[in-house]
Copies of this chain bind each other. A is one copy, B any other.
Amino acid sequence: MSTLFRHFRVHQVFGANTNVGKTILTTALVRASAQRGKNVYYLKPVSTGPLEDADDYHVNRHTADYKKSVHAECLFRYDEPVSPHLAVKMKADLEGQDVILPPSDGTFLDSVANRIRTYAKSSLNPTHMYLETAGGVHSPALSGTSQADCYRPLFLPTVLIGDSKLGGISSTISSYESLLLRGYIIDAIVLFRDDYYQNAEYLKPYFAERGVFVHTVNAPPERLSDLAANFTSTDKYYATITALDTEHGVGPVVDHLDVCHSKRLDELESMPKRAHDSIWWPFAQHGLMKGEKDVTVIDSAYSDFFSITNKSASSPTESILEPQFDGSASWWTQTLGHAHPSLTLAAAKASGRYGHVMFPQSVHLPALKLAERLVKGGPGKGWASRAFISDNGSTGMEVALKMALRAFTSRQQTEIKEDEKKQLGILGLKGSYHGDTIGAMDACEEGVYTCEWHNAKGYWFDPPTVGIKNGEVFITVPATLSSFPISHDVRADSLANVYDVENRINSSLARAYAMYITRALEALEKRGGPKLAALVLEPLLMGAGGMIFVDPLFQRVLIDTVRGRRSGSSTSWSGLPVIFDEVFVGLHRIGMESTGPLLGVYPDISVNAKVLTGGLLPLAVTLASNSIFEAFLSDSKADALLHGHSYTAHPIGCEVANETLAILDKVTKSDEWVAAQQSWAKPDGTASPVWSLWDPHFIIAISKLPQVKEVMTLGCVLSIKIKDDASGYTSHSAQTLFQSLTRASQEDGTLSTAPGGAAFGMHFRTLGDVAYFMTSLNTSSTVIRSIEDKIWQTLNE
């Protein structure tokens, strides 16, 4: 992951094309740095072509005057003068495929990063470094990904060598845009002077407008056929353009890069205080923050990792940036890892085609595709007829509530008075959470998440829950159920059995649930409790309420009871409209696209968000059955669903969602997923209805630890409840217990490194006495195993 040293300025050099003078200008930068008294490290990670033409040799030869302060190296060398991926192939063809496997991006990048880190703390006291990439920005790397993608985890500040020839304006700008799409910091564009094509005259104002420094350097002399004469002429050229006072030399570039480096360091250093002074954070008690040191500066992010400023750097030669595993999956949104290029391109494409276009009674392709996908082939399959798009989970739930309330009131035989309508109640479960807008809050019990206007309307059952205690699966039955046949916790054979709802539907527990629910609802009616208008559930897992894994049988029985029937196949809602809040659990977060098939019933309304947009930006979709939709049809505009945000169905969000869903189709069939599913298979080898990316042996093992009360996992989610007298949201026990996870430990084994081979700490969040850990949907098993190791070590410290 990204490295940034206080004393050691490192830049990577990309070329706008091959043959634009990348090596010449990089050599000149090396020499100019050396001339300014710096110790310089030049690295060519991959070199192709004959040895005598190799770039690192060239650098060494032309910096002979600065032998002591310049070190030039190459890590991987191939003979053919072709693109690295082909050079590897040709060498393999020549020497036998088995012998020469190209290093994977990971292995390759680890080598590069390790070399940089080694140099940073070497006795050579290096101060400047230039890493010269191969070919153009998108030339293939050894393993076949592009240069720009391959080096992205290191996130090195960048010098782009522009193209001064005919067509060079275009290739320079396009290369710049490709680097920008990867988020790179582009400190300078450098190119040769060319008085005929005058590319620089065009590029300078173009990039000045975009805040990018452009500098021209006198072009090199013609190549001479006599080697000795050529060397002398070239060396003289270098001497000229690296002289301290040459306007059209590289000196101004070196100075500029030094300034950029200092500015970046200053900026990073200033950020905690500035943030602490100007930002009001969500769900954060500023009164408990101990100033700047409680602020995490996220400089960039890649895959599963943030790159944060390293508060505990022990040595001045350590990187001031370190990787941190994003253990909350960035507040439950991460799906495909940070900065996934496909999502960036999807966003760019929609922005370039539409910007945002207003949505009422109009349609654009990204929205249409998304609606059709979710209604017909996604979570709405088999029951939904319409997609209503809004901005986030909370607004999606407000839309769902508006739908359900109208559907309910419009079907009543006797008209409900306006005042009664305002007090219509929601049937749900204790621990529910549907978002922070006040309407969504009112569908939940009052509790921790509250505000003055929060006015909980409805009735909430205390649900039985599923968990693993001391190696065994239990259904924990709440005290309110104790007067029914089931009066104590139920031990279950396995998670597979607990989640086999169809097989449990005729059990005595199911009958007890039904009886309990029926009596409770009768009692509610008898005492004139709130008139219920909708059943609202987070199926299987209530997230913000404390990672509560609800017994699926209870939810199924509750739905059946409310509907007065056992099947979800009716075309019209019955009893009460049923809303599934799948904002958190939907779209494979817990290992299934949607929860209906497992529960054996479909909702009348459901909401998706979070994973929907791959962890990039907000969007929500509320799906509805036709019988819900029809409740709003009339010839009066006032009867319409009068809800709409200005940016409803913004094309960027819809396109990113479509791309996410397309990629998820592959992820969910990937070897990693198949292997994880197999690890959770039943003893007879058949598939379990539930599974997890976390290792079952690890789960069992930590459930047996003395400080652990209960463990549970589904899909990407791992929840560990700590034994604590003061339970609930205000408890700090989990936070305290796992605090040491945040530190990157240098002594970790090789498993525990982020891309680029650096040891990493972990970001995680707690809900009172519950610590949870969440991966992206495509986090590799290697990374998950190393996280498990870290958690295990922390619990056994």
Contacts and interface: CB of A to CB of B under 8 A. Distances in A.
B438 A286 contact: no
B288 A635 contact: yes
A363 interface: yes
Given A352-B184, A363-B272, A357 B652 contact: no
A175 B175 CA distance: 8
Interface in A602-645: 609-610, 613, 615-618, 624, 629, 632-645
Given A340-B355, A617-B653, A170 B138 contact: yes
A560 to B, nearest CB: 26
B635 A287 contact: yes
B645 A83 contact: no
Query: What number of copies of this chain does the assembly contain?
Result: 2
Contact of A173 (B178, B367, B617, B729): B178
A184 to B, nearest CB: 7
Given A278-B387, A354-B298, A437-B439, A178 B180 contact: no
Contacts of A330: 355-358, 646
A135 interface: yes
Contact of A634 (B285, B297, B358, B640): B285
A295 B167 CA distance: 44
Interface string A72-83: 000000000011
A398 B300 CA distance: 30
A343 B368 contact: no
Contacts of A218: none
Contacts of A363: 271-272, 275, 279, 295-298
Given A271-B368, A450-B642, A339 B361 contact: no
A677 B632 CA distance: 46
Given A167-B135, A617-B647, A633-B286, A279 B367 contact: yes
A343 B391 CA distance: 20
Contacts of A144: 202
Given A167-B139, A402-B452, A348 B344 contact: yes
A159 interface: no
A355 B301 contact: yes
Interface residues of A, number: 174
A86 to B, nearest CB: 6
Interface in A409-456: 409, 421-422, 424, 435-440, 442, 448-455
Contacts of A256: none
Given A359-B282, A362-B295, A646-B393, A398 B641 contact: no
Contact of A386 (B280, B357, B435, B439): B280
A73 to B, nearest CB: 24
Contacts of A167: 17-19, 135-136, 139
A183 B436 contact: no
B271 A365 contact: yes
Contact of A439 (B306, B438, B639): B438
A338 interface: yes
Interface string A226-249: 000000000000000000000000
B730 A285 contact: no
B438 A282 contact: no
Contact of A646 (B86, B285, B610, B636): B610
B362 A301 contact: no
Contacts of A83: 166, 169, 197, 202
Contacts of A147: 170
Contacts of A347: 347-348, 351, 652
Contacts of A499: none
Please indicate which of the listed interface residues A86, A178, A401, A453 has the most CB atoms of chain B within 10 Å of its own CB. Answer: A453
A543 B647 CA distance: 16
B279 A356 contact: no
Interface string A549-592: 00000000000000000000000000000000000000000000
Contacts of A618: 391, 618, 645-647, 650
A166 B646 CA distance: 48
Interface in A133-188: 135-140, 144, 146-147, 155, 166-167, 169-175, 177-178, 180-184
Contact of A452 (B340, B359, B405, B624): B405
- Smallest CB-CB A-B distances: 5 pairs: A282-B644, A136-B170, A183-B353, A438-B439, A183-B352
